[in-house]
Amino acid sequence: MTADQFQLSCPVCKLPLMGDNKRLECTNRHSYDAAKQGYWNLLLANQKRSKDPGDNAEMVQARRRFLELNYYRQLADTVARKITTLTSSTESPRILDMGCGEGYYTQKMQQQLSDSNPQAQLAGLDISKHAVKAACRQDKNILWLVASGANIPVADHSLDLVSLLFCRLMPEELSRTIKPGGDLLIAYPGEQHLIELRELIYDQVRNSGFNPAQTLGDDFSFQDTETINYRFTLPDQQQIQQLLAMTPHGWRIGQAAKDKLAQLDSLELTLDVQLARFSRR
Ligand X SMILES: C[S@@+](CC[C@H](N)C(=O)[O-])C[C@H]1O[C@@H](n2cnc3c(N)ncnc32)[C@H](O)[C@@H]1O
205 binds, among ligand X, Zn ion, none (CB under 5 to 8 A by kind): none
281 binding ligand X? (CB under 6 A): no
Shortest Cβ 28–Zn ion spacing (Å) = 4
What ranges in the chain are assigned the alpha helix state H?
A: 57-67, 73-86, 104-116, 129-138, 171-177, 195-201, 212-216, 237-246, 249-252, 255-262
128 binding ligand X? (CB under 6 A): yes
99 binding ligand X? (CB under 6 A): yes
Give the separation between CA 47 and CA 176, rounded to whole angstroms: 18
Angle between helices 57-67 and 237-246 (to 10 degrees): 130
Q: Considering beta carbons, is residue 154 or 246 the nearer one to Zn ion?
A: 154
28 binding Zn ion? (CB under 5 A): yes
Number of residues that bind Zn ion (CB under 5 A): 6
Give the separation between CA 189 and CA 270, rounded to whole angstroms: 11
Give the separation between CA 8 and CA 132, rounded to whole angstroms: 17
55 binding ligand X? (CB under 6 A): yes
Shortest Cβ 74–ligand X spacing (Å) = 14
119 binds, among ligand X, Zn ion, none (CB under 5 to 8 A by kind): none
123 binding ligand X? (CB under 6 A): no
HSE-CB of 189 using CA atoms within 13 angstroms = 16
40 binding ligand X? (CB under 6 A): no
167 binding ligand X? (CB under 6 A): yes
Q: Considering beta carbons, is residue 24 or 152 the nearer one to ligand X?
A: 152
**Residues with Cβ within 8 Å of residue 259, at least 6 apart in sequence:** none
Q: Which stretch binds ligand X (CB under 6 A): 12-20, 27-35, 127-135, 229-237?
A: 127-135
The answer to whether 4 and 25 are in contact (CB under 8 A) is no
Which one of residues 3, 8, 10, 271 is an interface residue with Zn ion (CB under 5 A)? Answer: 10
The answer to whether 158 and 180 are in contact (CB under 8 A) is no
Footprint on this chain of Zn ion (rule: CB under 5 A): 10, 12-13, 26, 28, 30
Footprint on this chain of ligand X (rule: CB under 6 A): 54-55, 63, 99-101, 104-105, 126-128, 131, 148-150, 165-168
